[in-house]
Structure 1
Amino acid sequence: MADIKTPARLLFLREEELRQGIELLYFAYRDFTAGPDEILAGYGFGRAHHRVIYFVGRHPGMTVSGLLGILRITKQSLSRVLGQLIEEEFIRQRAGERDRRQRLLNLTDKGVELERQLSQNQRDRIARAFRGAGADAVEGFRRVMLGIVDEHDRARFARPGEPGA
């Protein structure tokens, strides 16, 4: 990934191309989150609730501190959102087996269903875009996104045999 930042690789990019890339990210995010936002509004939830539900669903049994590391939000912000999701029985929290101070998080059946609803439109959008773009473009997109993501998070996406795997 180091070659992405070298000045020689960036010379072919004009200001307009860079600005268009920024705008595409904004518009893609707006449209990517529109469907889930409607569903969330019906529960009185926001995007922070969606992110918590998504990552707890992706990583069953994750710790609160692990979730804080992914989301990079304050404990206070997470506490408010997580407390609401626990109270409304979308997430179950239990003490760790080895360390009782740890709080392990899992989606309840109700949480699994909400996560499915929230992610379905997003999965469909990505699948449609990937199919339309083709395999080379999918790999190119992956590389571009990895280049945008902070270096310490790239290892989460490393494939076997790649650096960081």
Structure 2
Amino acid sequence: MIDLDRQDALRGAIELLYFAYRGFTDLPDRIPERRGLGRVHHRILYFIGSRPDVSVRGLLDLLAVSKQALNAPLRQLMEMGLVAALPAASDRRVKNLRLTPEGQRLEAELTGAQMRHLEAAFDKAGETDEQGWRAVMAVLAAPA
């Protein structure tokens, strides 16, 4: 059983994580809203942008979502001319995804806002705290 002081500290950490995520996603959520897009679209743009020619299957695995959950937002991004699906050279049944030039511009705007946010936080906290944050995030991100 976790003692009460530790429970309070962990609850405080949970709240910090929630509030930090809200602050981290605030501006990047507002930017795509102008186009009728949301956070899921941002995630798709980010991961296609960081992994050009990722297959649809690879993106599904990376995002850990179902094909049904990915289908509508990915189709919307394609219809808006932000993402292109091209047949893979090795297997024409496989569709590789990449950002169009317009998709690259939007992804760069969104990711740039988050990079500036993180950079300011890391600069303020200092290198030792940044490394500690990275260590905690790596543990939290690891499969259970």
TM range (shorter): over 0.9
User: SS of the counterpart of 2:34?
Assistant: helix
- In structure 1, how many angstroms separate the alpha carbons of the residues matched to 2:38 and 2:124? 31
* Equivalent position of 1:147 in the other structure: 139
User: SS of the counterpart of 1:151?
Assistant: coil
Report deviation, 1:139. 1.1
User: SS of the counterpart of 1:94?
Assistant: strand
Report deviation, 1:53. 0.3
User: SS of the counterpart of 2:45?
Assistant: helix
Q: Of residues 35, 40, 54 in structure 1, which corresponds to 2:46?
A: 54
Report deviation, 1:36. 1.2
- 1:1-165 equivalences under 5 Å are 14-151=6-143
Following superposition, which runs of at least 4 residues in structure 1 exceed 2 angstroms of deviation? none
- In structure 2, how many angstroms separate the alpha carbons of the residues matched to 1:39 and 1:128? 20
Identity %: 41
1:36-89 deviation digits (Å, cap 9, x = unpaired):
111111110111100000000000111111110111111112110111101110
Aligned length: 142
Tell me, which stretches of 5 or more residues in structure 1 are unaligned? 1-9, 153-165
- In structure 2, how many angstroms separate the alpha carbons of the residues matched to 1:93 and 1:127? 33
* Counterpart residue type for residue 16 of structure 1: D
User: SS of the counterpart of 1:44?
Assistant: coil
Report deviation, 1:92. 0.8
* Counterpart residue type for residue 90 of structure 2: R
Q: TM-score, normalization: structure 2?
A: 0.93
* Counterpart residue type for residue 148 of structure 1: L
1:111-165 deviation digits (Å, cap 9, x = unpaired):
000001111221111001111111111111111011111338xxxxxxxxxxxxx
- In structure 1, how many angstroms separate the alpha carbons of the residues matched to 2:143 and 2:128? 23
